[in-house]
Structure 1
Amino acid sequence: MENTLKQILQEMKHVNTRLGKIEEGQKNLEDRQKNLEKRQENLEIRQMNLEEQQKEMRHELIGLKEGQERFQKNMIESIGLYTDKIIEHVDVKTSALNKRLYTLEVEVERLQRQKDQDTSKLSFL
């Protein structure tokens, strides 16, 4: 009986040792699971940060597109105004030249008539 009890006690020690190893393995698994959960939380935080940055980039892109459209409109308006000023300047200069040309033509005609009159007076003589 004593031998049987010793065998049972010996078996119990082996069972206890095995249970200790199982408990240690279980603790290791729990630690690894906690580590995985922390890493997953970090990944989720990083994903949220990426999504936020993506939203910011979309807003910036929209702002850039709107700015480009305004720039194009302003450029077209500026070119139109500049063209109008050039046309006005050319018109003013053309008008001034036309007035000078008209004055010159009138003077040439007057001189031509005077010459013709002088020539006809000379032919009478």
Structure 2
Amino acid sequence: MSVEVRIDQGRIARLLRARGGIAERKLRQRAERVADIARREAPGRMGDFISSYIQDGPRGLEAVVVCTHPAVRFVLDGTRPHIIRPRNARALRFDVGGRTAFAKIVHHPGTRANDFLTRALIEGR
């Protein structure tokens, strides 16, 4: 009596890569874990603009975590010192220590880079 087992590597690879398969579920779980960490690490309301999805890439399925907040580039890369001037009014209006202040020009000191997306990716591995 003999037993023969044949492994079809191509079929196994197709099953793993198939939509709705094991690999996609695990990839989706990991992407959502990274997105949750990024939401927690993001400053202010920026976390509300973070989402994740799965797409077909050139090498198979890939997970994407994205932040669509309009200022995300400034947060990730930081900014140099710069001048802020009003665009549609004669003065800038902002709150300082519970009081309203007005200025025709503000010399912003710049901001340090805060790469919360990369930190989330590393932590979510």
Tell me, yes or no, whether TM beats 0.5: no
TM-score category (smaller protein)? under 0.3
Q: Which structure has greater helix proportion?
A: 1
* Larger RCO of the pair (alpha carbons < 8 Å, separation 6+): 2
Relative to the length of structure 1, the TM-score reads: 0.26
Q: Tell which structure's C-alpha radius of gyration is larger.
A: 1
Q: Which structure has greater strand proportion?
A: 2
